[in-house]
Amino acid sequence: MGIRERLSGNEAVAIALKQINPDVLAAYPITPSTEVPQYFAQFVADGQVDTEFVAVESEHSAMSACITATAAGGRSATITSACGLALMWELLYVASGTRLPVTLAVVNRALSGPININNDHSDSMGARDSGWIQLYSENNQEAYDNYIMSLRIAEHKDVMLPVMTCQDGFITSHAIENIELLEDDKVKAFVGEYKPEHSLLSGESISMGPYDTPMFYFEHQYQRARAMVDSKQVILDVSKEFGDLTGRYYGLFEEYKMEDAERAIIVLNSTAGTAKAVCDELRAKGEKVGILKLRVYRPFPMEEIAKAISHVKAVAVMDKAESFSAAGGPVFTDVRSACYELATRPHIINYIYGLGGRDVPVDVIHFVFDELKKVVADNKPGEIYRHVGVRGV
Amino acid sequence: MAYNLKQEASKPERFVGGHRLCAGCGAGVAVRGVLRALNDEDKSVSGVATSCLEVSSFLYPFTAWNDCFIHSAFENVAASVAGAEAAYKALKRKGKVKDNYKFIAFGGDGGTYDIGFQALSGAMERGHDMVYVCYDNEAYMNTGLQRSSATPKFAEVSTAPVGSKIPGKMQYKKDLTETIVAHNVPYVAQTTFTSNFKDFHEKAHKAHYTEGPAFLNILAPCPRGWRYPPEDLMAICKLAVDTCVWPLYEVVDGDWKLTYEPKTKLPVTDYLKPQGRFSHMFKPGAEWMLEDFQAHVDKKWERLLKKCK
């Protein structure tokens, strides 16, 4: 019945990695994800894993090494945050374009500049179109669970795409909470062996990473895009199997008190916890409010989200990242677009919040629900691209 | 067994014809020679940095590589091959890979001296069991002859053109081989294509079969960029070593050894003259450039001789 523990989000990911025992772990230090390779290096030093730990000289090399290690038939993993993810950018596309199931644990942190070491989602949101599957985690338990599931999703023959699992820097990466771990043998059995159809070390002669001319490039991109579409069902299947094993069931998103909600907030990662607490408070007063917590952002569950909020009168999509598009944050534009075909659409407004570690207390969520009340009363959205918790607005 | 070119050349090719490298290109010669120096029973994985070599040898769906090959980007080939080598170690330990594999990274001078330098330095320092091969043609040939830090002083390149004020590139060539020696790499060598390829072959073999990282810097002329007739590849290489512009040496565990000393050290003009990229150095009033080039080569050569004593 699992192992009860108290761990930080970083420890939880490190423990998952120990249980998985990947063939290669290549990583470079960056706050706030650094602890994961530190813990892992200790596992290596103590002989608790037989992974090749490659302490590379940059995140660019970390992702490069993971790509070829996976191409060689090994299971590879890396961990990073913020600028580290930005430095990997070029290779993120190479990993997904070469259809290599690398897994990456992102500990979300704001991108420079100016430099800021605290949490927001500008790093992984910027990578949303790199062909990686993205799973978001509310707490340490979800960071652990998502990471274990990510291997099975990535390595599924209908997918063969890399997966990044995300959790909030410091907020969940460093805060210690209760967690239920799986036994080592159960994790090993669940993730199984990585057996790619082709690899550099299988004995066959194979060339990978071609120069792709206009004659073929488009077809290869189409196949990658199809794999992203097909991954949705695989994510659901793997999550079901994981739920049967652990009792913890996950979908594409979590609907919290959404059945009869008139007002709703869509949010991801740790703020979902704060939002649920406010939701409970308001529900106790008889207010019909709900929370939709996005878990799977890529592939984007377009039809499912539209269906889930079709009955709601007003929705606030909260983005912990700017997209500087002058048209709202990334989750907002995706959600709003998803609702276009609905016969009756909710009013949808956007809040950019919590950038660079700006605290997100319950007041912020109360404020957003209050604003939604106004949207419902007026039956029009007003300004749709808004910022909350920032001075001078 | 003594080196025998005929015998070596009769081995099955690991890098085959049909690729699209230019006639007389040094890159293909370098790859073929390096892979030929592998023992028959060993398999290999080659990583190639984005380069002429990469875009000419693996155009989907055709590959010139009979052994395994991977390309991912320009500046990361050392890290890429390091990743494959790390996976090999782990999988070998777990009994999942039976065959013996050797790991080779190929990069041009741009991918090695410049943009790939950080990844190269990291991989050499970490001690991966791999050979890094730089095929040095002294400019960014794939993108159209731009200046690299391997471009010799005064050479005319597209981003250091010869103008009325500035006569080509104004900086000396970076000495990358010495820089890698400073990484305490167990085997470092400089070679090129001369006579019966004995020097080249023996160094490549040593590089493959030295445990840990090894670095081979191969002068691999580009007839189009250097502007000489393609059939003169071997003659140009011979002049590079006989003028001491490109000395042949190796450094084994920190011990420097000259592997070829010209009987008569030829003047650098013998090497520069046949190449169009240096033609402005032979115009009236440009004598100072020839003197500068010669003085630099002489100074470097004397220093090398001291190291090799």
Provide the shortest C-alpha distance from residue B45 to chain A (in Å). Answer: 7
B21 interface with A at CB cutoff 8 Å: no
Residue B58: which of A26, A61, A210 has the nearest Cβ?
A210
- pLDDT tens readout for residues A104-153: 999 999 999 999 999 999 999 999 999 999 999 999 999 999 999 999 99
Residue B84: closest CA among chain A residues belongs to which residue? Answer: A69
- Average of per-residue pLDDT across A243-272: 98
Distance between A261 CA and the closest CA of chain B, angstroms: 49
When CB atoms are compared, the residue of B66, B70, B86 closest to A54 is: B86
Q: Answer whether A58 sits within 8 Å of B67, measured CB to CB.
A: no
A88 min Cα distance to partner chain B (Å): 11
Residue B138 falls in which region: left (phi positive, over 0), alpha (psi -120 to 50) or beta: left
In whole angstroms, what is the distance from residue B42 CA to residue A288 CA? 70
Q: Is the pTM of this model over 0.90?
A: yes
Of B59, B69, B119, the CB nearest to A64: B119
Q: What is the pLDDT of residue A393?
A: 84
pLDDT tens per residue, chain B (309 residues)?
689 999 999 999 999 999 999 999 999 999 999 999 999 999 999 999 999 999 999 999 999 999 999 999 999 999 999 999 999 999 999 999 999 999 999 999 999 999 999 999 999 999 999 999 999 999 999 999 999 999 999 999 999 999 999 999 999 999 999 999 999 999 999 999 998 999 999 999 999 999 999 999 999 999 999 999 999 999 999 999 999 999 999 999 999 999 999 999 999 999 999 999 999 999 999 999 999 999 999 999 999 999 999
Residue B79 sits at the chain A interface (C-beta within 8 Å): yes
Task: Give the minimum alpha-carbon distance from A95 to chain B in angstroms, rounded to a whole number.
Answer: 8
B76: nearest CB among A64, A206, A207 = A64
Domain boundaries, chain A: 3-246, 253-388
Those of residues 113-132 in B touching chain A at CB distance below 8 A are: 118-119, 121-123, 125-126
> A3-246, what's its fold?
Rossmann fold (3.40.50)
pLDDT tens profile A362-389: 999 999 999 999 999 999 999 999 999 9
Residue A1 has pLDDT above 80, yes or no: no
Q: What is the pLDDT of residues A277-330, one digit of tens each?
A: 999 999 999 999 999 999 999 999 999 999 999 999 999 999 999 999 999 999
Q: Does domain A253-388 have CATH number 3.40.50.920?
A: yes
Q: What is the pLDDT of residue A248?
A: 98
How near does any CA of chain B get to the CA of A349, in Å? 41
Q: Note the maximum CA span of chain A.
A: 68
Of all residues in chain A, the one with the smallest CA distance to B51 is A211
Q: What is the mean pLDDT of chain A?
A: 98
Taking the C-alpha atoms of residue A195 and residue A207, their distance in angstroms, rounded to an integer, is 18
Among B59, B82, B91, select the one facing A201 at the smallest CB separation: B91
Amino acid identity for residue B271 in this structure: Y
- Answer for the pair A309, A289: CB distance below 8 angstroms, yes or no: no
d(CA B55, CA B133): 17
CATH of domain B10-307: 3.40.50.970
H helices within chain B, ranges in order?
5-9, 26-36, 52-57, 77-93, 109, 117-126, 176-181, 198-208, 223-226, 233-242, 268-272, 287-307
